[in-house]
Structure 1
């Protein structure tokens, strides 16, 4: 096991990237402090790596000031280290997935074999398998199946007519959702945005009002991720208004209504409006109680369990570690063992970040390791995990922490 003095710090920190972006604009630290609303002391600590630059709301304030993209600060996408062959396998298919996304809307020009092989029932089963990989965050397996699956779905959508065409586009939308999550987890945000656009277009072609609205949930997330809170809020408000005109007793409508309230709560949290965030969370909880069960409509998970997980996410997003840990104690105890590993791992990542904010470094590492066991690549590629782990390695000699940092590629 390498000693701390032997560790090579090759990767840039978020603070170093922030400093480089500031210098690109020929600003001094005082100018960045004025434009971002942070103190000069805070800017210095961020750039020197003495203060964690991992929270989305903090990053977005610098993004707005510097007119850059969040990934220019977070450094995504990350290259999996040699010590993570599964991560390298997951990343190997990114180019192939992006190529097939680029072909959306173009004539499929299928071969005779592809034409004769169109089988909607078979495609439905393959999409179900891809979604199972997605919920397990099995990124290497997702990357292996997505290029061929998306190609076959594009052929079916191009050639089918009538009701079969609508069904094909519904399956294609679901396939693109899998691609979007695969790319997003690996940090390829531009390609993930491309996939999101394809989801929206395909959902429109299904002529199903609820399917179309479900795609808007991802659309709102795109604007939220770059700090365009008003635009994200407008999409959410429009969706909730439209949902109010749909028969309220339909469980799919209840589920979507709750999901949009969750998205609204996150939007308010990142805009530093804690009161509004909690109000939207309460509205989501009301829909979850009304539903009374966990559902997976349109491959979007909603119900009491996911709402509980989000109740921990919100204080983490606002840097309220004590509130998040207090809530997590109840949520963790009631989290079903068979719930989607992707969501359970995200919960443990939030728990780890909350402990980090409280100065509880050992507890933070234990939570991250729990998340890694559930979803290895998704945890290792998570920007917040990487930034907080890097800072912890700076201040602790614990061997398991350094080993985790090596798997992430931050040491």
Structure 2
């Protein structure tokens, strides 16, 4: 297919496609990936590649836990007998999910999460099928929602989008049984994640989920759920090339953020004033901001507040690095931000295709020997040809 034809089908400029083809421009914006995949009639995974497992155990070992997680998701059901004959006490399982699993999820420690999650899902289904009473069944379902959302996040980060969506839909099934609009909102955050090819549909679903939940928000515990759905809508709008709507939803998120403590550790999904500022960076990178514009947005984030949430911190640092990398004048700063992101959560960093694309382009553009060596070392850890 000629670049002229591809440009016409994708809505991307011929010059951009030419530079991307030669490795001089990063194909790291969700909207660009979706448009190009649609024009070429391939999936996004086909275009950017599935998981590339290199010799680095930090990058490769998390993927060994995907298979048992897939088995747990495929063999458990709300309409069949449990797959295990006995389970640990429900309070113990709930404490495990809220404690150790949640702690390592926040750190993007997929290896530790992967060791616990499949058995946890199996045993929670046992309690759902044979509850001691109604309160026990609700606790089992509520904990299962969080477990399935954790599974969805892990699968998405490790580039298994089909498994991620399956886990998110299982979380939604559990909330239907709970008949709780707040729990349904939590599941919607996983179901309607901005990672699909049809961005306009994702945007509509995200906006609808936020609007549907708003009348049911009663207290400060509910507010973060609405806030995270609103941020989802902002990112989906940005990926749909609707910058006005993206700004609208970011501003909408600022209001509920003022109603809760600025505490990433205590609030659901770390929703807070600081998290809204982080998402402004993420949305800014998605709509194409670069260099100084991203540096200015980053100034609104107090990094000290991220120390208790390494997952949010590594994503913030990586997004700033990716945005800075688009401007050659900020290349040195970009590599420093990216290196700090890798140090914060290496399993997450070394499995992110957007980061890998940024590093590959920076490697191609590198002209200074010292820079080239740094890029090659980072590229090796990401499994990028160098």
Taking structure 1 as the reference length, the TM-score comes to 0.86
- The residue matched to 1:141 in structure 2 has which SS? helix
**For the residues of structure 2 that align with 1:280 and 1:109, how far apart are their CA atoms?**
43
Tell me the distance in 2 between the aligned counterparts of 1:374 and 1:325.
Answer: 20
**What are the Cα deviations for residues 60-82 of structure 1, in whole angstroms up to 9, with x where unaligned?**
11122223221111112221x21
Q: Which residue of 142, 156, 159 maps to 2:113?
A: 142
- Partners of 1:109 and 1:139 lie apart in 2 by 24
Q: CA–CA distance in 2 between the matches of 1:131 and 1:275?
A: 35
Q: Which of 322, 345, 355 is equivalent to 1:375?
A: 345
Q: Is the 8 A contact 2:48 2:353 kept in 1?
A: yes
Secondary structure at the aligned position of 1:78 is classed as coil
Conservation of the 8 A alpha-carbon contact between 2:121 and 2:147: yes
Residues 141 and 178 of structure 2 are in contact (CA less than 8 Å); yes or no, is this contact kept in structure 1? yes
Matches of 2:184 and 2:284 in 1, distance apart?
31
CA distance in structure 2 between the partners assigned to 1:337 and 1:233 by the alignment: 28
Matched residues in 1 for 2:360 and 2:199: separation?
29
SS in 2 for 1:244: helix
Match for residue 170 of structure 2?
198
C-alpha displacement of 1:126: 1.4
The 1-side partners of 2:266 and 2:152 are apart by 17
Say if 1:214 and 1:298, in contact at 8 Å, map to a contact too. Answer: no
Q: Is the 8 A contact 2:23 2:360 kept in 1?
A: no
Question: What's the CA shift string for 1:82-111, capped at 9, x where partnerless?
Answer: 1x2133321111111101100121421433
231-240 or 68-77, which deviates more: 231-240
Deviation at 1:295, TM superposition (A): 5.8
**Equivalent position SS for 1:97:** helix
DSSP 3-state at the match of 2:216 = coil
Partner Cα distance (1:172, 1:206) in 2: 11
2:50 to 57, 76, 83: 76
Structure 1 contact 285–304 (Cα < 8 Å) conserved: yes
Map 1:1-400 → 2, pairs under 5 A:
27-79=1-53, 81-82=54-55, 84-105=56-77, 106-111=80-85, 114=86, 117-128=87-98, 129-160=100-131, 161-221=133-193, 224-248=194-218, 250-294=219-263, 299-321=268-290, 322-331=292-301, 333-359=302-328, 360-396=330-366, 397=369, 398=371, 399-400=373-374
CA drift at 1:337: 4.6
Across the two proteins, how many residue pairs are aligned to each other?
375
Gapped regions of structure 1 (runs ≥ 5): 1-26
1:78·1:187 contact (CA, 8 Å) conserved in 2?
no
**243 and 367 in structure 1: CA distance in 2 versus 1, 3 angstrom threshold:** same
What is the distance in 1 between the residues matched to 2:209 and 2:357?
Answer: 35
Deviation at 1:45, TM superposition (A): 2.2
| Secondary structure of residue in 1 paired with 2:283 | helix
Cα distance change of structure 1 residues 244 and 377 upon mapping to structure 2, 3 Å threshold: closer
**Judging changes above 3 Å, is the alpha-carbon distance between structure 1 residues 279 and 293 closer, same or farther for their aligned structure 2 residues?**
same
Are residues 323 and 122 of structure 1, via their aligned partners in 2, closer, same or farther at CA, if it must alter by over 3 Å? same
Deviation at 1:309, TM superposition (A): 0.6
- Post-superposition offset of 1:378: 0.3
Cα shift readout 1:105-131 (whole Å, capped 9, x = no counterpart): 1421433xx1xx441110012112111
The CA deviation at 1:133 is 0.9
Consecutive unaligned residues in structure 2, runs of 5 or more: none
Q: Please give the alpha-carbon distance, in whole angstroms, between the structure 2 residues aligned to 1:220 and 1:93.
A: 24
CA contact (8 A) 2:59 2:381 kept: no
2:215 aligns to what SS in structure 1?
coil
Residues in 2 aligned to 1:50 and 1:236: alpha-carbon distance in whole angstroms: 33
